[in-house]
């Protein structure tokens, strides 16, 4: 069993904190459902502003609220307005991550979704592993090419291009 990314909220902004509340993070339920975060699931939180890294569990906030509220001790690690990354994990075999196709939401400064990304791991014809990253944003600047792949295997032209690169 290995640990893999299960889903991610990238660049979501902290909208509040409740220091005297029992620990957790409250996140807009619509965001959670879209990337597969479950209530009470443990997640890793990485603060892009301070470098702080913590883990806590998810509480669903009101759908459509765009909320991201750190509770309890977690409230000490982030300030309102900080940009954070929230990632869930799964433990499994390679086949599990191939089947999952983890989803990522990317946010603007107002917690509006500006991109939806899918990570797709697959086996190449020789059996080795590879992956594609599918973004809804053409010519994104994330450092990976935008690919639109349907099915579990990319077209041979994609494999041929990767072999040349």
Catalytic residues, by residue number, are 24, 57
Residue 43, C-beta contacts closer than 8 angstroms, at least 6 positions apart: 25, 37, 55, 56, 57, 58, 86, 87, 88
Q: How many residues does the chain have?
A: 165
Give the closest residue to 130 by CA, choosing from 118, 120, 116, 140.
Answer: 120
- Under a CB-based contact definition with an 8 Å cutoff, are residues 117 and 35 in contact? no
Q: Of 125, 122, 117, 113, whose CA–CA distance to 148 is shortest?
A: 117
Which residues on adjacent β-strands are paired with residue 53?
A: 46
């Amino acid at each position: 069993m290995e640990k893999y990314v299960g889903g991610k909220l990238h660049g979501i902004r902290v909208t509040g904190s409740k220091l005297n509340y029992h620990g957790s993070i409250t996140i807009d339920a619509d965001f959670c459902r879209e990337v597969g975060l479950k209530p009470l699931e443990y997640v890793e939180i990485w603060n892009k502003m301070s470098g702080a890294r913590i883990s806590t569990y998810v509480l669903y906030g009101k759908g459509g609220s765009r909320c991201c509220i750190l509770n309890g001790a977690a409230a000490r690690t982030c300030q309102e307005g900080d940009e954070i990354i929230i990632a869930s994990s799964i433990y499994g075999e390679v086949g599990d991550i191939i089947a999952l196709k983890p989803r990522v939401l990317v946010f603007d400064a107002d917690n509006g979704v500006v991109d939806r990304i899918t990570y797709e791991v697959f086996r190449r014809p020789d059996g080795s592993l590879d992956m594609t990253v599918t973004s809804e944003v053409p010519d994104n600047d994330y450092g990976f090419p935008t690919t639109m792949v349907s099915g579990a295997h990319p077209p041979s032209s994609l494999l041929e291009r990767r072999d040349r690169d």
